[in-house]
Structure 1
Amino acid sequence: MTNVCFHADCSRVIQSGGLSGKVPEALFSFPQLQQVILDYNHFNGTLQLGTSVSKQLNLVSFINNNLSELVTGGYTESLILVGNPLCNQSSNKKYCTRSQQSPVPYSTSVVNCGSNLCPPDQSPSPQSCSCAYPFQGVMYFIAPLVRDVSNRTLFQELEKKLETVLDLTPGSVFLQNVSFNNDFYMQIYVKIFPSSGMYFSRSEIQDIGFDLSNQTFKAPSSFGPYYFIAFTYPFPAVEGRSTMSVGLKIGIAACCALLVIGLLVVTIYALRQRRRAERAIERSKAFGSWTRSGEENSDAPQLKGARWFSYEELRRCTNNFSVSNEIGSGGYGKVYRGMLPGGPIVAIKRAQQGSTQGALEFKTEIELLSRVHHKNLVSLVGFCFDQGEQMLVYEFVPNGTLRESLSGKSGILLDWRRRLRIALGSARGLAYLHELADPPIIHRDVKSSNILLDENLNAKVADFGLSKLISDDEKGHVSTQVKGTMGYLDPEYYLTQQLTDKSDVYSFGVVMLEMITAKQPIVKGKYIVREVKMAIDASDEESYGLKELMDPVIQIATNLIGFRKYTELALRCLEELAADRPTMSDVVKEIEMLLQSNGLSTHSQSASSSTISGSRKDPSEGAFDYSGAYSFSAKPEPK
C-alpha cells in the first residue's frame, strides 16, 4: 500500500486515494501516528485495529469503503465508518452515524448581537455589533494537523493570533465556513473588521493584505502553512464632490438613455455585419492543419522569422525528450535543450498534457511572439503543432538565469559594472514591450529567474507565459485576475486587480534590489523591500547604509560607481502608488546616464572570463567586467 502524506511529519497523519485490499493491522501501531484518514478507497475484508494501537491515535476514518467486519481491539477514540457494509450489523451502528461524519463547523459567535441586521454589503462586527465593511478573504491551509472543524479552542487561538500580529483590537476577526476541499486543504472564510469606524484606510488594507499574502503572519503550528486569497475591498467614494438635485439627475439620465439607445442600435447593426464577415472568413479558412513555413496554405500562421517543426524533428534533437536534456520546468510544462541539424542549440518549451490551449489561441500566440524582436528579449525560433503536441522553440541562452548567478549556483561572479549593464539590458527589453511592441505587452512576471544571460553575459528577458496584451480600448490599465510571483507583486495591482505597465516597473525595482543583496525577495518572512528601506542611511556616502545587506561579492569592492543613484532609482520604482513610479523608458535613460557619467559604455559588450581556483579575487579589480568559473561550456551539446 502506498501512502500519500500531506504533512511535514509523515508519521502523524496518513491519507491516500485509489487503494484496495485488506487494511494491514500494523498500520495503526506507529508510535507518533495521530490520524488515519482513508476515505473513498476500496478496502475490503476485516478492519482489525489490533492491540498495539498508537497511544496518540485519535481519529480513524474509512468512509465509503467495502469493509465487512470490525475488530476494534483496544482502540476507544473516534472511529468513522459511514458507507461500509459492516454498518448493516447492529453492533457497529455507533460508528456509522452521520453526526460523526459532519460535525458542525466552527464559526465566530455573534449571538450577542441579537437580531441586528446590516445592509447586504456590510456585516456586524463581533467586537461591537455595529455594522461595518470588513476586509474579506479565504485562508487555505495546505497541511493542517487540525481535522476537527468544530474544535473551538484551536480556532479561537487562530483568531487571537490574527488579532495580535495584525495589530487589531480583540474581537476584530470573524471566522466561518470551515471545511476541507477536494485537495484536503482546510479553507476558512475570514472577515477582519476595523477597530473603529466603518472602513479601513487604504494603507491599513495594504498592510493586512501584505502580512497575509506574503506569509509575514505565521499561523499556529496546528494549522501549518497557508495561502490567502483576498476579496476586493469596497473603499468609500471620494468625499467633496459636488452634488446635484434629483430633478437634474433625472433629466441628465433621460438624455443619456436616449443617446445610449441610439448608439446601441447602430453598434448592434455594425457588429452583426462584422461577425457575418468574420464567420465567412473562418469558414473559408478552416483551421485544419499547418504546414512547413514557406509552403502555400491558408491555414499556416503569418510568421516573421519563425519556422514550423514536426514532432519527430524535435523528438530526435532532444534524444526523445530525455531527462538529461531537461533544463527547466513550470506550470506550462518542461523545457528541453536540443540541437537542430547543422548545429544550432535551442531551448524547446513543451506543454504538458492538459495545459495545451486551442489551436486558434496557440496560432495567435506564436504570431505575436514571432513579431517581438529585440536583442534583450529571448527570440522565438519556431513552433510545433503536431500529433497533439504544442511546443515553442526559443534560442538557447547558455549562462542560465540572473537568479542562478546571484545565488552562486552557476559559478559566475558578477561585479558591480556587469550588474549595472544587466539592469540596463533588462530595462531596455521591458521598455520595448511596453512602448514599441504592437500591440503593447505587459510581462506580468518580471523576476530574476526570468532574466537570462547569454555567452557575453548580456541580459535577455524570457518567459512570456503570463504576459498580457494591451488593446487600444484598454490603454491605461487592464482589469484582470492577479497573477505573478510572490514577493515581486505590485501592491496596487494586488489591491485593485488593475494591471498596468507600472506593475512591471515595481517588479523590476525588486530585481534591482536583488542585484544589490543577492537575496530572494522573501527570506524567512523578511521582505527585501522593507529591509532595504529600513536600512537606508542618507549620511553614509559610500554604501547608503546598505553595507550589511550587500552581496559579499560586491561588498568588498572599493568603488561602487553610481551606487547611491542606482539605489534611489530602485526605490522610486517601488513607490506604493503606480503614478509615482517612473516608466521603463525613464529607467533606461537614468541607468544610461549613470554609466555615461562614469565613463562607461552603454552598449552590449562581449565579456572575458577567468577561471578562479583556490580563492576569489575582487571582481571589481582588473580590466575585465566580470570574472567567474563556468559550470558548463559556452556551447553545451544535448546528451
Structure 2
Amino acid sequence: MGRKLRNNAFNDTLNMGSSIGKQLQLVDLQNNRITSENTKPYSTSMANCGSKSCLSAKKLNPQSCDCAYPFEGTLYFRAPLFRELSNADIFHSLEMSLWEKLGLTPGSVSLQNPFFNVDDYLQVHLELFPSAQKSFNRSGIQRIGFFLSNQTYKPPPQFGPYLFIASPYTFLEHGGNRISSTLIIGIAIGCAFLVLVLVGLGIYAVWQKKRAERAIGLSNPFASWAPSGKDSGGAPQLKGARWFSYDELKKCTNNFSESNEVGSGGYGKVYRGMVPSGQVVAIKKAQQGSTQGGLEFKTEIELLSRVHHKNLVGLVGFCFEQGEQMLVYEFMPNGTLRESLSGKSGIHLDWKRRLRIALGSARGLAYLHELANPPIIHRDVKSTNILLDENLTAKVADFGLSKLVSDSAKGHVSTQVKGTLGYLDPEYYMTQQLTEKSDVYSFGVVMLELVSARQPIEKGKYIVREVRLAMDKNDEDQYGLRGIMDPSIKSLANLTGFGRFVELAMRCVEESASDRPTMSEVVKALENILQNDGMSTSSTSASSTATDFGSTKGVSRHPYEDSFPKKCVNNTNAFDYSGGYTLQSKVEPK
C-alpha cells in the first residue's frame, strides 16, 4: 500500500511519527521542498525521492526511488462502470490488483494520465517496475505480457473488459567481453555507414517506383488491365460481368436524367435503368472528373465477377470509357436494411423477417470467408450494405473495401484500418491485423440493430455497451432489453429465440477475436433458432404470399412494389436507393 504526494509544496522537516498503519509501504514525495526527514522506524520501507531524476530511458521507481527501466504500455478499458476520474481510491485498487496478481513488489506499479478517448474507452498509461534489478529479464517480460495480453489477469470488477498494448522493451545485455580496439570500431562504423547508404538508395528506388505505380493506379485503376493505355480495350472478359459502352448506359437512363436517379453518396450517383435484355438494373456512376473510389471500383469488379451467391448482390457489368467509371448491379427494389429499420422504406419487419434477414446476410458472409477462393474479408459490414430484394431476401453489397486472404497460413492481412465507426472491430483498429473475425464483429453490431433499430452510435451511446449493461438473463421474454428494443417488436407476445439471438450477437462482439464464432457457426446458430420454432430456414424474408406482404397493416404502401415500366424512360417513381455505397465516417490510419 502506498501514497503519492509528489509535486506539492511540502517544506521544512518531514516527521513520519510512530502511528502509521503496517500496510503503508510507500510514500512518494518527489518534487517537494523538504530539507530533512525523521522517518524512523520506517526508514527501511518509506521513500522520499526528493528532486531525484533519471536520464535516458530510465525512470524513477516509485517504490525504491532508484532509476530503472519500466515495462510500459497502455490499458484500454472498453466499458468501465464509472465516469469519475478524480477518485484516487478506484485507481489505487487497480494498482494493488496489478502488483499482487503479477507478483510484483508493492508500490512498483504506476498509473498515469487516465482519460476517455474518442472511442469512449478509458485509456490509462501503465508502468511496471522491476523489484530488485534495473530492468526485467526476458522471462519476466514474457510472463507479464502473457498475463496482460491474453486476459489472464483480471482487473477489479468496476473496470470491466480491457485490452493491453505494450510498448517495445529494451533488454540490457549482461556479461561478455568488450572489444575496445579503435581499429575494429573504425572499420565497423565505416561498414555500417556504407550499408546504410546502400540500403537508403535501395529504399529510395523502391519508394519512387511504388509512388509512380500508385499515381498510375489512382488516375487509371485499369492500368494493369490495359497495357496499351486505352480505356476499354484491355479490360478482361470477366466471368458473369459484361462490359457496357457509355452510350448504352446513357440511352438506358435517358441521358442519366434526374427522374431515373435513385440515390447518391460519396462515390457518386445511382440510376435505375433497363438493359436491352429487359433486366432492371442499378447503375452506380462515379463523380465526373473525380478519382474518389477508383481503386474500390476496380476491386469490386474483380471480386463480384467471380463470387456468386444468392445472398450477395450480383454484378451485371461495368463501364470504363470516356473517363467514366460505372458499375451495373441487379436492382434491389426494397433498398437497404437501414432504411427499413428506420421506417424510411415503409416496410414492416416483424421478428421472423428479421431472423431471416440475419440468416441470409450471415450466409453471404460465410460464403465469402470459406467458399470463395481465395477467401474474402468484406471489411465494411453494416446495415446500409445489406440490401433487400422484392422478397425481402438479404444480399450483402459494396465490396469496395474488401480484402483477399491470399496467405491462409498467416491467418490475417496487415492493412490500413478502414471501415465505419460503430461497426469497426476494436482489435483490428488496435493491431491493424484484419481477419474474418473482424467481419463477425461488424455483423454482431448489425444483429443488435435488428433488435433495437438504433444506429450503432447514437447520442454518444454505443449500442454494444448499452446492451451489455442492460442484459438480464432472468428476463426470459425480453432479456432485460425492453428499454432498448425497437418499439415495433417489443410489444409482440412471442419473439422466437430472442434470448439466444441476443447471446449470439454478444458473442460476435467479444473483445478478443478468438472468443468470437466463425460466420459458419453464426449461420448454424441462426438456423437452429428458426428450426426450433418450426420455421423455414430459407433466407427469403417475405411472408408466404405476396398478398400478405403487400397488405401489412398499419404501414404505408411501399412506393416501388409495383412492377417497373417496360421502357426505361422518364419514370417519375424515385426512391432513395443508397445501394450501400455511401462510405460514412471512414476510419483512416492514424
TM-score w.r.t. the length of structure 1 is 0.56
Distance 1:124 1:319, change over 3 A: farther
Q: Distance in 2 between matches of 1:431 and 1:346?
A: 26
Look up the SS of the partner of 1:354 in the other structure: coil
1:355 corresponds to which residue?
291
1:64 corresponds to which residue?
none
Q: Verify the 8 A CA contact 2:274 2:281 in the aligned structure 1.
A: yes
Distance 1:320 1:284, change over 3 A: closer
Distance 1:332 1:131, change over 3 A: farther
Letter in 2 for 1:391: M
Alignment equivalent of 1:334, drawn from 269, 280, 284: 269
2:344 corresponds to which residue?
409
Q: Distance in 2 between matches of 1:135 and 1:551?
A: 37
Q: Is the aligned partner of 1:119 residue 2:52?
A: no
Structure 1: segments with no counterpart, 5+ residues: 1-111, 138-160, 176-186, 205-231, 248-281, 292-296, 617-626
For residues 102-117 of structure 1, the aligned pairs below 5 Å read: 116-117=54-55
Q: Distance in 1 between matches of 2:495 and 2:224?
A: 63
Distance 1:523 1:599, change over 3 A: same
Letter in 2 for 1:599: G
Alignment equivalent of 1:599, drawn from 529, 534, 540: 534
Q: Verify the 8 A CA contact 1:414 1:628 in the aligned structure 2.
A: no
- CA offset digits 1:409-455 (Å, max 9, x no partner): 11111111111100000000000010111221100111111100100
Q: Is the aligned partner of 1:194 residue 2:125?
A: yes
2:227 corresponds to which residue?
286
Shift of residue 547, structure 1, vs aligned partner = 1.9
- CA offset digits 1:503-539 (Å, max 9, x no partner): 0001101111111111111111111111111111111
Shift of residue 550, structure 1, vs aligned partner = 1.2
Which one is further off, 163-172 or 363-372? 163-172
Q: Distance in 1 between matches of 2:342 and 2:325?
A: 33
Q: Is the aligned partner of 1:534 residue 2:469?
A: yes
Over aligned residues, Cα RMSD in angstroms? Answer: 4.3
Shift of residue 311, structure 1, vs aligned partner = 1.4
Q: Is the aligned partner of 1:558 residue 2:493?
A: yes
Alignment equivalent of 1:466, drawn from 401, 405, 411: 401
Shift of residue 173, structure 1, vs aligned partner = 4.4
Look up the SS of the partner of 2:166 in the other structure: coil
Q: Distance in 2 between matches of 1:334 and 1:283?
A: 26
Look up the SS of the partner of 2:524 in the other structure: helix
- CA offset digits 1:139-187 (Å, max 9, x no partner): xxxxxxxxxxxxxxxxxxxxxx996699979994499xxxxxxxxxxx9
Q: Distance in 2 between matches of 1:336 and 1:371?
A: 24
Q: Distance in 2 between matches of 1:521 and 1:283?
A: 39
For residues 187-586 of structure 1, the aligned pairs below 5 Å read: 194=125, 197=128, 233-235=165-167, 286-289=227-230, 299-352=234-287, 353-355=289-291, 365-472=300-407, 475-586=410-521
Q: Is the aligned partner of 1:633 residue 2:561?
A: yes
Q: Verify the 8 A CA contact 1:612 1:628 in the aligned structure 2.
A: no
Distance 1:563 1:192, change over 3 A: closer
TM-score w.r.t. the length of structure 2 is 0.60
Letter in 2 for 1:630: H
Q: Distance in 2 between matches of 1:284 and 1:589?
A: 40
Q: Distance in 1 between matches of 2:114 and 2:69?
A: 13
Q: Distance in 2 between matches of 1:246 and 1:322?
A: 80
Distance 1:389 1:284, change over 3 A: closer
Shift of residue 283, structure 1, vs aligned partner = 11
Letter in 2 for 1:286: P
Q: Verify the 8 A CA contact 2:299 2:399 in the aligned structure 1.
A: no
Q: Distance in 1 between matches of 2:238 and 2:412?
A: 28
Q: Distance in 2 between matches of 1:551 and 1:124?
A: 53
Letter in 2 for 1:384: C
Q: Distance in 1 between matches of 2:256 and 2:562?
A: 22
Q: Distance in 1 between matches of 2:68 and 2:252?
A: 68
Q: Verify the 8 A CA contact 1:302 1:367 in the aligned structure 2.
A: no
Q: Verify the 8 A CA contact 1:611 1:629 in the aligned structure 2.
A: yes
Letter in 2 for 1:234: A
Distance 1:287 1:487, change over 3 A: same
Distance 1:543 1:136, change over 3 A: closer
Structure 2: segments with no counterpart, 5+ residues: 1-49, 77-82, 93-109, 130-143, 152-163, 178-222, 566-570, 573-590
Q: Distance in 1 between matches of 2:349 and 2:556?
A: 8
Look up the SS of the partner of 2:411 in the other structure: coil
Q: Distance in 1 between matches of 2:439 and 2:269?
A: 25
Look up the SS of the partner of 1:346 in the other structure: strand
2:99 corresponds to which residue?
none
Q: Distance in 2 between matches of 1:386 and 1:476?
A: 38
- CA offset digits 1:180-232 (Å, max 9, x no partner): xxxxxxx9xxx97636647996699xxxxxxxxxxxxxxxxxxxxxxxxxxx9
- CA offset digits 1:307-335 (Å, max 9, x no partner): 11111222222233334433333333332
Which one is further off, 517-526 or 373-382? 517-526
Look up the SS of the partner of 1:194 in the other structure: strand
Q: Distance in 1 between matches of 2:492 and 2:451?
A: 12
Distance 1:283 1:337, change over 3 A: closer
2:23 corresponds to which residue?
none
Higher relative contact order (CA 8 A, sep 6+): 2
Distance 1:358 1:350, change over 3 A: closer
Letter in 2 for 1:569: L
Letter in 2 for 1:457: L
Distance 1:562 1:480, change over 3 A: same
